[in-house]
Structure 1
Amino acid sequence: MLTKILHKGWPACKYLLIRFFMGISLLAVIPISLLLGWWSPNVTATLVRLANREHDEASKYLGLTPESALPAAAPRRPGNVVALFRDEAFRRSLRILLMPLVVIPELVIAMLALIAAPAAVASMALWQLQPGSFNLMGLKVDSWFESLTLGPLQILTGLAMLQWVTPAVARGHAQAVRQLLAPSASELETARLAARVEELTRTRAGAVDSHGAELRRIERDLHDGTQAQLVSLAMRIGIAKQTMADDPEKAAKLLDDARDGAEQAMTELRGVLRTMYPPILADRGLAGAVSALSARCPIPVELRVGELGAVPASVEAAAYFVVAESLTNITKHSAAGHVDLLLERRGPELYLAVTDDGIGGARVNDKADLLNRGSGLHGMVHRVEAIDGHMRLQSPIGGPTTVEVILPCE
């Protein structure tokens, strides 16, 4: 019973005690804020950050998820008072200066709840040393009757405060802080849009880099492979044309070689095109294409495909390449013996999860490490984020490794 009371009351007392020290600190910085805040943007920005922190601490105490995107103070030039008082975040943060008005009564409640029962036990045991010098329930104790009646009453009162009063006060404080310091709808919308712009800037930059690298790879493959084959093919046909009259057998052999070269060039060209948009997606759809990848994987793959519905072509291509790259990485680096692959539609999103029972330790790196690992995962992240998707990698040392991808379909 006592443990339960302490488990409930101690967090409330701790929260109120910390708020007391924060309130006292505010009393110390109020003069500085009044004198320097109008001039220095750093002072007002610090006040806004402090208000946001108090808001988050109140949310944590109430068991709510702290809002991680509370608007910061708007940038301004030193001494620009007009911009300062137009800043909604600053005007909201001024409400935190009300905290010193309540922290002293809250401190008294928290301290009484903490020391009432221990003080009662000490007074009941020691009152005989100096009768009339010890108090119980605010009354002097100079007899056993007062000690045995007022002592238990003070203990029960302290426990009651610890279990009910202090948590109620702490909850009231936290709720008041959330209401006073909660950002307005316009602030939240501005912060959301700013975060969205930052995310789009980052993902689009990654997509552009990835696209540029992909174009360079295609150009290199065409130049070093297909183009070289076509040049060789043209030379063989030209030589065959020149030797046709004098040596028909040699010309026929050259034409046979040219035919083989043409087939090889077509094969390489199909390979390049397959990396741009695999034809199997158009022929068999995403489910069939993923099934074909799983069948070709040398490691046993348990494939589970749910109802996918209509999936945009860009999403199909991204999901296909994620599966292909994941299975390739697993085959090369994981030492896995089994792979689980889940592909399903979850509302407006396509969900993909690839899990292997290998050695783990996979990381997303800009460049491949000494074992040639990591750069493929980096490309997967760019490909997924380019269409506003999200990818999460879990790969502790010793495994298992799970790649989860969520792609928007609308």
Structure 2
Amino acid sequence: MSRNSLSRRRFLQASGAAALWLPTSVAGYTAAEMRQFYANGEMSVNVSKWELDTPALCVDLDLLEANLDRMASTMSTNGIASRPHAKTHKCPTIAQMQMDRGSVGICTAKVSEAEAMFQNGIDNILNTTGNVTPTKINRAMNLRQQCPGFIQATDSQDNARLLSEAAVAKGIIADVVVDVDPGIRRTGTPFGQPALQLAQLVDQLPGLNFVGMLCYDAAAQHVVGFETRKAQTLERMVQATDTFEMMKASGLNTEIFSGGGTGTYNIDHDTKGLTDVQVGSYVFMDAQYISIGGEEDNEVYSDFHTSLTIMTTVLNDQYEGKATSDAGAKACTINQPWPIIKGETGMSYRSGSDEFGTITYQEDASRTYKVGEKLEVIVSHCDPVVNLYDQMYAIRGDKVEAVWPISARGMSA
């Protein structure tokens, strides 16, 4: 099954989408007004999500909490920990919700993300991307100086020596993991002796404390079909396990063996020695993930709910068979498959234009839209979409319960 072969009707059935819409001639509260309401403790004003100025990024609290609870329960049942990747939500509030459910820490993709998380109360952070420039290395060591729970990844001997020099200069001991390449040749050092030799060097260098390894198989996460995904994951991770066992046999500290993700969360526990799973997208889900198929349904990945949506307003309805909305690439990205209109069938949504989304009706469209009416779309790829917004609205039922800052938005350095 190709990723794009999943029908929209099948998608909506699987995600439990409700056909909920209200005619809009409504106030349209701005982002600034909503922040002020929340800061002043005035969310009792009972603002509906349909009253938000658009485009607006929303997360359904009931669905988010169900996703968090299912992951925590699965990890507990499978005897493995979670170390969620904050690059998905970039939101300290959600990171804390994950920690409250037993996660051993969070991952970040960039040191700036790690800084933002620490500044907002999250203090157990594994930065999975190597820092290679003097500026970034210095920032990482500054963060370690303030945050004893900060761990930095490295994938080369030269980089390890630079980390050592920076740590010694600051008079600190920095925890370090070795990033091992699962075979996708993106980052990481090769399996076996290269990884072992790097780990031994880190263990010997002054100012560094070797604490284990990470091996994240990004390519496996979106493999279509559960059995195919499982076979690829376990085959690739055999060499990772062998490498980890080599490190253990040599007397190195092997408290961390981190890897896996949302697409393989119920497979990763079969990787011998893996201590924690770097799940990310499960909190929100998206059109990409829903189409890969799950263990229970090979067509639809329905393990987690699609909790993240964008509210958008129709701007033009003058042309037959289509309408234009205010959520284009700058609000939705141009990732594919395209966003899904929640609660409706027989229509498609494209966000290829910078400022505008295009709604195209098919003959069996469940409805049409008028200028000023609002609709809700399920995002194509949650990570880059979140990075486009300063805040998200936490929704319970139809009402806005909270306004959450996306504190690590734009933290790509």
State TM-score, norm by structure 1. 0.21
Higher relative helix content: 1
Higher relative contact order (CA 8 A, sep 6+): 2
Higher relative strand content: 2
From the CA coordinates, give the structure whose radius of gyration is larger. 1
